Chain A
Amino acid sequence: MQKDTIAAICTGMSNSGIGIIRISGQEALNVANEIFVNKNKDRKLMSYSSHTIHYGFIVDNKNNDEVIDEVMVSVMKAPYSYTTEDTVEINCHGGMYLVKKVLELVINNGARLAEPGEFTKRAFLSGRIDLSKAEAVMDVINSSNEMSLKASMKQLRGDLAKKVRSLRDSIIYEIAFIESALDDPEHISLDGYPEQLNDKVTSITKELELLLNNANKGKIIKDGINTVIVGKPNAGKSSLLNILAGEERAIVTDIAGTTRDIIEEHINLNGLTLNMIDTAGIHDTDDKIEQIGVEKAADYALDADLILYVVDSSVPLDEDDVKIMDLIKNKKTIVLLNKSDLDVCVNEETLKKYNHDYLKVIKTSTKENEGIDELENCVKDLFLSGEIEKQDEILIMNLRHKELIQNAYESMKLVKRSIEDEMPEDFFSIDLMNAYSSLGFIIGEEVEDDLVNEIFSKFCTGK
């Protein structure tokens, strides 16, 4: 399998300031040389040294060197490039037609259109990056906000791999100890070992738990917090959404029950993404369409990471409120006592009578824009505890990683159980081994038969 030369557009498929075409492979320089001339119209690309950038023109070599665009071309020679192959990147003007035209020229001169993720696949296959790095690359491409980007960058640098390796080392040490004691009981004793192992297992389990918590955090940072706004009709739910979104997203009227369907909005709050879902007010209704909306609201509330319960504090709580409180018990909830600008008859004390725990009760007035800052800070504290920007924290941004860490965690719990049940030592190694190999899958030390292709197929073209 001789590796051919591949090319793709690396920038987004929309008109923008610059478009980049990447060419990688043995023929990359030759291909680029055919279509690139410098300002004196000379073809000199082959002579450029690695890691230099050059001004010039892309020309159509099959059509009398007609100038297509004015470009900058960077040259990175093997093995010091992303793919470890000779690589040329053409920075041209960003109009889609133009970018595609340049790519077409590249293809016509001997390169092949790259498959999704093929550049990264080559980087992996050549041993330049391990699997967790490869997956981080995908996350960097897909990350939608700044904190997510930071966490991906860190994973890319190998923090996750380092952590996983160190956990694996501790686990394999214990396996090796048990095995060697089985093989050479004369020289290696297992007296008192279960207690010793129990301590180790406890500390490894804790570390895995921490990674898992961070995985949830990672998910929240990457995918956003699923936030559902609930409340009776006309409590001010849609107004809240509009204030947070900074635009008129939901139709706000004085008529209760205006929002009949579910309205979704992604809101960036202090660097976090809130996936806001505004729901129909929950109340007994005969209106068929409104009824569906109410049922949907209940469903959404169950799946939410966060509930914003908007209460109209100017009117007394009633049966509908009781129903809502019942629906959202056990969920992370912030209560907003809205309409604080009016005569208030519901306060924190009133709520306490209903015996539900809330994370926080905030007085707001969506009309006067009061209490909104407090709400924003509260959300950030809740989900990030201010820790996220700490340098040493590893965020798991990837669902596959999370599942594998979860598996390792479960296995370690089974080891603990075996110790508690006073099982013979040789039983410990079954679950220790499972934990060890689960972690191994994260960093590609264990190989699943179809894994490689699965991962790279998720990449977008050009990476």
Chain B
Amino acid sequence: MAEIREKVDVCVVGAGHAGCEAALACARMGLNTVIFTVSVDSIALMPCNPNIGGSSKGHLVRELDALGGEMGKVIDKTFIQSKMLNRSKGPAVHSLRAQADKADYTRTMRSVLENQDNLTIKQAEVCELLSDEITLEDGTVKKKITGVKIYTGAIYEAKAVILCTGTYLKARCLCGEAITYTGPNGLQPANYLTDSLLKLGIEIRRFKTGTPARMDKRSIDFSKMEEQLGDEVVVPFSFSTNPDDVQKEQVSCWLTYTNEKTHEIIRNNLDRSPLYAGVIEGTGPRYCPSIEDKVVKFAEKERHQVFIEPEGIHTNEMYVGGMSSSLPEDVQLAMYRTVPGLENCKIVRNAYAIEYDCINPKQLYATLEFKDVEGLYSGGQFNGSSGYEEAAVQGLVAGINAALFIKNKPQIVLDRSQAYIGVLIDDLVTKDNFEPYRMMTSRAEYRLLLRQDNADLRLTKIGYEAGLVSEETYKKVLKKQELIDSEVERLKSTLIGANKEVQRILEGIGSTSLKTGTTLAELICRPELNYELLSEIDVNRPENMPKDVIEQININIKYEGYILRQLKQVEQFKKIENKKIPRDINYDDVASLRIEARQKLKAFMPINVGQASRISGVSPADISVLLVYLETYKYTENS
């Protein structure tokens, strides 16, 4: 039989949110790329919630956009409602969230892939990873990826492979006692790849996640719910989207609540929940809990929020946010019908839980390459994360690094002080995660610096240097930064006298009068004032200052003290982050390390002391020991 054998640069396995970004990055960086999917119709599918962004996830999308990713651009084209969350709180936690038209999102992303040069879409299940052994400079033998084999037997030779299999590996869906061996949305699972991974020596584990029911809009009584409107002025996700293009008519979401009756039904049927009855082996996300989990964990709460969100414009299906479940169909129906407005609801798709194979990401470098298999990268839920946005950013980083690897250029690692993406990946590869990892605001130590509004200023340069961001875009960002700096400087040095005219204007805008002269910057620091309000006093102001520049000026001046203190924290962090650990370190030689720390350090092989200090099970005393050892190591190396 004639066997198909193709030669490409990169194979991407899976076309979800991680796979799409990985494939686009590689193709855009000039590499011949193939993306495999079990169904072309499921490219960039949103099988769970119908939105992109949200608290801290919005940050991820903005960072991805600054680095040259696609998600932000696609959601800007396909959203049906958009909201900046947490506006009442500080700028660090402002976060954008948009409701997507799911079908439109999928179609739009697919079209981007289809029209991308260097990129081929292939509907096929990848069954096997092909590898070789190579001898490194220091004599150690290491595996090296050489390509993939699909179910037909066809072989694709590649220099790098990126695994983005999402929830498809040996997937199993549970709806109470009803169990089906399918991927999300009833799609075909991928049942063969796991064995090939195990053969490569990769450690596999099993996670679960869940999704709530979808209901027929016509069966819901919205008069019993609170209407949730979008923002009057919509802020786009992508820095490249013209804000005028996203001001459009929006649809509403609805808020209602569970009650004691709901909880009672759930409690009475816990024995029929696969999770509580012990049928589910996978570990679920703590921060995106099923309604069963919430009722058990927050037993004292009388009610939980339920958000009813449209799945799109051309469908009657509504998503029931906050009530994912793996209870049997009859219990689900009874439970949903206790919620105000859902008394007569008709379920289109039942809630279900899904179990799947994934890896322990400690097997990865922070570049998302496998430590033990050269050229093999991975991203997304396969790495033990949860969420579209978390998946997308990993896909992008894996894609960029696979491309850089092939081009023989230094790969990219973002650290915790640079981006939420850095926090996410660092957490994945250094901490023990026993459940799907979800991005959260609290995980970022330096969040006042890692705001969603300055992602372009933080990261565009990196995207440009990798070859994903155009020179034009990069120059724009440089110009923006210059404008911010010079304007802040001007405001700090412009003195305002306490004259009558100034006092009159200040009182006019609801501020107190001046006792002595001051600077414009100090006036902006007043809580009731900002750059815009001072236009009458500030006569020499440059004209037509862009809105996004004004936003940066206000934040930089108002929170300067906090920003400086956080920068100091970063400085401290960098000191220990910059202490590199030699690759050939033998932890058995480091006397006085506790056994647990020794095992963990051996398993993770951190590249610097900062990373070592974050590994669960490594204590500060162990780090002191390590530092002392590195001192002596340095000493003996030098002498």
Residue numbers of A with Cβ under 8 A of B are 1-3, 121, 124-127, 130, 179-180, 182-184, 186-187, 414, 421-427, 430-431, 433-434, 437, 440, 444-449, 451-453
**Bound complex: CA A414 to CA B17 (Å):** 43
Instruction: Decide if B305 touches A433 in the complex (CB within 8 Å).
Output: no
Instruction: Decide if B620 touches A183 in the complex (CB within 8 Å).
Output: no
Query: Which one, A125, A180, A427, contacts B592 given CB within 8 A?
Result: A125
**Bound complex: CA A430 to CA B563 (Å):** 9
Q: From residue A386, how far is it (CB to closest CB) to chain B in Å? A: 38
**Bound complex: CA A113 to CA B258 (Å):** 73
Interface check B639, CB cutoff 8 A:
no
Q: From residue A417, how far is it (CB to closest CB) to chain B in Å? A: 9
If A183-B441, A426-B447, A447-B613 touch, whether A1 touches B632 (CB-CB below 8 Å) is yes
Query: Which one, B445, B565, B590, B620, contacts A445 given CB within 8 A?
Result: B620
Binds A, one of B27-35, B88-96, B183-191, B381-389: B88-96
Query: Which one, A121, A179, A425, contacts B89 given CB within 8 A?
Result: A425
Instruction: Decide if B305 touches A186 in the complex (CB within 8 Å).
Output: yes
Q: Which residues of chain B are within 8 angstroms of A431 by Cβ–Cβ distance? A: 565
Instruction: Decide if B442 touches A183 in the complex (CB within 8 Å).
Output: yes
List the 9 closest pairs (A to B, CB-CB), nearest first: A179-B442, A424-B90, A125-B592, A424-B89, A447-B623, A183-B440, A426-B90, A182-B441, A445-B620
Q: Which residues of chain B are within 8 angstroms of A447 by Cβ–Cβ distance? A: 576, 613, 620, 623-624, 627
Interface check B621, CB cutoff 8 A:
yes
Q: Which residues 240-270 of B sit at the A interface, judged by CB distance below 8 A?
A: none
Instruction: Decide if A182 touches B576 in the complex (CB within 8 Å).
Output: no
Interface check B314, CB cutoff 8 A:
no
19 contacts between A and B (CB under 8 A): A125-B624, A125-B628, A127-B594, A180-B442, A183-B55, A186-B304, A187-B298, A426-B92, A427-B448, A433-B569, A440-B620, A447-B576, A447-B613, A447-B620, A449-B609, A449-B627, A451-B624, A452-B627, A453-B628
**Bound complex: CA A190 to CA B629 (Å):** 45
Question: Closest chain A residue to B445 by CB distance?
Answer: A433
Q: Which residues of chain B are within 8 angstroms of A449 by Cβ–Cβ distance? A: 575-576, 579, 609, 627
Q: From residue B388, how far is it (CB to closest CB) to chain A in Å? A: 18
Instruction: Decide if A125 touches B631 in the complex (CB within 8 Å).
Output: no
Q: Which residues of chain A are within 8 angstroms of B572 by Cβ–Cβ distance? A: 437
Interface check B625, CB cutoff 8 A:
yes
Instruction: Decide if A1 touches B590 in the complex (CB within 8 Å).
Output: yes
Instruction: Decide if A182 touches B93 in the complex (CB within 8 Å).
Output: yes
Q: From residue B556, how far is it (CB to closest CB) to chain A in Å? A: 15
**Bound complex: CA A452 to CA B305 (Å):** 51
Question: Closest chain A residue to B586 by CB distance?
Answer: A1
Q: Which residues of chain B are within 8 angstroms of A440 by Cβ–Cβ distance? A: 620
If A182-B441, A447-B576, A452-B627 touch, whether A430 touches B594 (CB-CB below 8 Å) is no
Q: Which residues of chain A are within 8 angstroms of B591 by Cβ–Cβ distance? A: 1-3, 125
Q: Which residues of chain B are within 8 angstroms of A452 by Cβ–Cβ distance? A: 624, 627-628
Question: Closest chain B residue to A443 by CB distance?
Answer: B620
Q: Which residues 289-326 of B sit at the A interface, judged by CB distance below 8 A?
A: 298, 301, 304-305
Q: Which residues of chain B are within 8 angstroms of A426 by Cβ–Cβ distance? A: 89-90, 92-93, 441, 447-448
Query: Which one, B298, B566, B624, B632, contacts A444 given CB within 8 A?
Result: B624
Residue numbers of B with Cβ under 8 A of A are 55, 88-90, 92-93, 287, 298, 301, 304-305, 440-442, 445, 447-448, 527, 559, 562, 565-566, 569, 572, 575-576, 579, 589-592, 594, 609, 613, 620-621, 623-625, 627-629, 631-632
Q: Which residues of chain B are within 8 angstroms of A127 by Cβ–Cβ distance? A: 592, 594, 621
If A182-B442, A183-B55, A449-B579 touch, whether A444 touches B620 (CB-CB below 8 Å) is yes
Q: Which residues of chain B are within 8 angstroms of A124 by Cβ–Cβ distance? A: 621, 624
If A1-B591, A125-B624, A127-B592 touch, whether A430 touches B566 (CB-CB below 8 Å) is yes
Q: Which residues of chain B are within 8 angstroms of A187 by Cβ–Cβ distance? A: 298, 301
Q: Which residues of chain A are within 8 angstroms of B559 by Cβ–Cβ distance? A: 427
Q: From residue A1, how far is it (CB to closest CB) to chain B in Å? A: 5
Q: From residue B449, how far is it (CB to closest CB) to chain A in Å? A: 10
Q: Which residues of chain B are within 8 angstroms of A444 by Cβ–Cβ distance? A: 620-621, 624
Instruction: Decide if A453 touches B442 in the complex (CB within 8 Å).
Output: no
**Bound complex: CA A83 to CA B441 (Å):** 44
Q: From residue B57, how far is it (CB to closest CB) to chain A in Å? A: 12
If A125-B591, A449-B609 touch, whether A430 touches B562 (CB-CB below 8 Å) is yes
Q: Which residues of chain B are within 8 angstroms of A423 by Cβ–Cβ distance? A: 90
Q: Which residues of chain A are within 8 angstroms of B592 by Cβ–Cβ distance? A: 125-127
**Bound complex: CA A425 to CA B93 (Å):** 10
**Bound complex: CA A3 to CA B590 (Å):** 10
**Bound complex: CA A3 to CA B93 (Å):** 50
Q: Which residues of chain A are within 8 angstroms of B298 by Cβ–Cβ distance? A: 187
**Bound complex: CA A183 to CA B55 (Å):** 8
Question: Closest chain B residue to A453 by CB distance?
Answer: B631
**Bound complex: CA A188 to CA B527 (Å):** 27
Q: From residue B619, how far is it (CB to closest CB) to chain A in Å? A: 9
Question: Closest chain B residue to A181 by CB distance?
Answer: B442
Q: Which residues of chain B are within 8 angstroms of A186 by Cβ–Cβ distance? A: 304-305
Query: Which one, A1, A427, A433, A448, contacts B90 given CB within 8 A?
Result: A427
Q: Which residues of chain B are within 8 angstroms of A126 by Cβ–Cβ distance? A: 592
**Bound complex: CA A180 to CA B443 (Å):** 10
Q: From residue A342, how far is it (CB to closest CB) to chain B in Å? A: 57
**Bound complex: CA A313 to CA B621 (Å):** 62
Instruction: Decide if B448 touches A430 in the complex (CB within 8 Å).
Output: yes
**Bound complex: CA A60 to CA B602 (Å):** 46
Given contacts A121-B628, A431-B565, A447-B624, 17 further A-B contacts (CB under 8 A): A1-B591, A1-B632, A125-B625, A179-B441, A187-B298, A423-B90, A424-B89, A424-B90, A425-B89, A426-B448, A434-B569, A444-B620, A444-B621, A447-B613, A448-B575, A449-B609, A452-B624
Q: Which residues of chain B are within 8 angstroms of A3 by Cβ–Cβ distance? A: 591
Q: Which residues of chain A are within 8 angstroms of B55 by Cβ–Cβ distance? A: 182-183
Q: Which residues of chain A are within 8 angstroms of B590 by Cβ–Cβ distance? A: 1
**Bound complex: CA A174 to CA B624 (Å):** 27
Q: Which residues of chain A are within 8 angstroms of B589 by Cβ–Cβ distance? A: 1
Question: Closest chain A residue to B447 by CB distance?
Answer: A426
Q: Which residues of chain A are within 8 angstroms of B624 by Cβ–Cβ distance? A: 124-125, 444, 447, 451-452
Q: Which residues of chain B are within 8 angstroms of A125 by Cβ–Cβ distance? A: 591-592, 624-625, 628
Q: Which residues of chain A are within 8 angstroms of B448 by Cβ–Cβ distance? A: 426-427, 430
Q: From residue B431, how far is it (CB to closest CB) to chain A in Å? A: 16
Q: From residue A115, how far is it (CB to closest CB) to chain B in Å? A: 12
Question: Closest chain A residue to B89 by CB distance?
Answer: A424
Query: Which one, A183, A434, A451, A453, contacts B287 given CB within 8 A?
Result: A183
Q: Which residues of chain A are within 8 angstroms of B569 by Cβ–Cβ distance? A: 430, 433-434
Q: Which residues of chain B are within 8 angstroms of A451 by Cβ–Cβ distance? A: 624
**Bound complex: CA A451 to CA B626 (Å):** 12
Q: Which residues of chain A are within 8 angstroms of B620 by Cβ–Cβ distance? A: 440, 444-447
**Bound complex: CA A121 to CA B621 (Å):** 12
Q: From residue A86, how far is it (CB to closest CB) to chain B in Å? A: 15
Q: From residue B258, how far is it (CB to closest CB) to chain A in Å? A: 12
Q: From residue B409, how far is it (CB to closest CB) to chain A in Å? A: 30
Q: From residue A28, how far is it (CB to closest CB) to chain B in Å? A: 16
Q: From residue A278, how far is it (CB to closest CB) to chain B in Å? A: 45
Question: Closest chain A residue to B559 by CB distance?
Answer: A427
Question: Closest chain A residue to B322 by CB distance?
Answer: A186
Question: Closest chain B residue to A426 by CB distance?
Answer: B90
Q: From residue A118, how far is it (CB to closest CB) to chain B in Å? A: 11
Instruction: Decide if A184 touches B287 in the complex (CB within 8 Å).
Output: yes
**Bound complex: CA A444 to CA B447 (Å):** 26
**Bound complex: CA A143 to CA B590 (Å):** 34
Q: Which residues of chain A are within 8 angstroms of B579 by Cβ–Cβ distance? A: 449
Q: Which residues of chain B are within 8 angstroms of A430 by Cβ–Cβ distance? A: 448, 562, 565-566, 569
